[in-house]
Amino acid sequence: MKAEETNTMARAGKVNWALFNPKTYATILYLLLSLPLGIVYLTIAITGLALSIGLTPVFIGIPLFFGVAKMLNGIVKFEQSLIRHILGLPTPPASAPSQPQTEAGQNWLQRMVKGFDGELFFRNLMLVFLRFVTGIVFFAVMVTAISLGLGFIALPVVHIILMNEIQVDILENNLFQYFHIDWSYNQQYLLYVGFGLVLFLIALRVVNGLMQVQRRIMYVDESYLQPSPEPVEAQFFAPVQPSYGEFEDNKPAQEKAWLA
């Protein structure tokens, strides 16, 4: 059952017909903003951790550390929700609400310490660092791939403008002359535009593939695979089974009553 849910979520959010799909262009905008956002996230994480460690002797660093942990968790959840919104994934089920009676009589520091998860903190810190790295790498790959496609598509227009304005022939020394292929400018234009369209379509598929990689890195599908919380009514009205010890203790009394 869990394998079927995993395959269903893997198929969800995939982009078909990348050229006419708005998800593709939303992904391009997301990857363009990934570089500055990654820098901002990493700066917040490093600055917050450095201040919390430096201010620990004056006690301010301890609550600041827990505040940084909450902030990192909020950054990761924001990135996950942003990816879900771009890919059109459904909203994950809400987690089970915490019991307010268990936190009664505790001060704010005890609640922060009790709510701190060390494994989750280190995972969020690594995800923020990976978000910075992938922001740089994905930005460079996307810009290079799209620029190659658009560059070949716009080459005929650039060549005509340069020929008419400053009489510079950028196609004077090209591969066609090295192979002794006598093609006119119009034939070369068609070839360059066709090659640019192919490169542009490949670049769009690369962009969507980068988004799927980012989706897996940020654990977007993790919330869908978690078991749903048990309803509150089921917790209150669940039948209470007697323990084995209670049953053994009551057995002699029942036998005495029967013999009597």
pLDDT (tens digit, 9 = 90+) per residue, 228-238?
555 544 444 44
Q: Residue 40: CA atoms inside 13 Å, Cβ hemisphere, count?
A: 8
Phi/psi at 126 (5° precision): -65, -35
Residues 6+ apart with CB under 8 A from 86: 23, 26, 27, 30, 211
Amino acid code (one letter) for 205: R
Q: What is the mean pLDDT of residues 144-161?
A: 91
Is the pTM above the cut of 0.75? no
pLDDT (tens digit, 9 = 90+) per residue, 161-206?
888 888 777 777 776 766 677 777 788 889 889 999 999 999 999 9
Dihedral angle of Cα 74, 69, 138, 12, to the nearest 10 degrees: -50
Integer Cα distance of 110 and 91 in angstroms: 32
pLDDT of residue 48: 92
Integer Cα distance of 17 and 10 in angstroms: 18
Output the six-digit token pair for 25: 């262009």
pLDDT (tens digit, 9 = 90+) per residue, 86-116?
988 888 776 655 555 555 556 666 777 777 7
pLDDT (tens digit, 9 = 90+) per residue, 33-77?
999 999 999 999 999 999 998 888 888 888 888 889 999 999 999
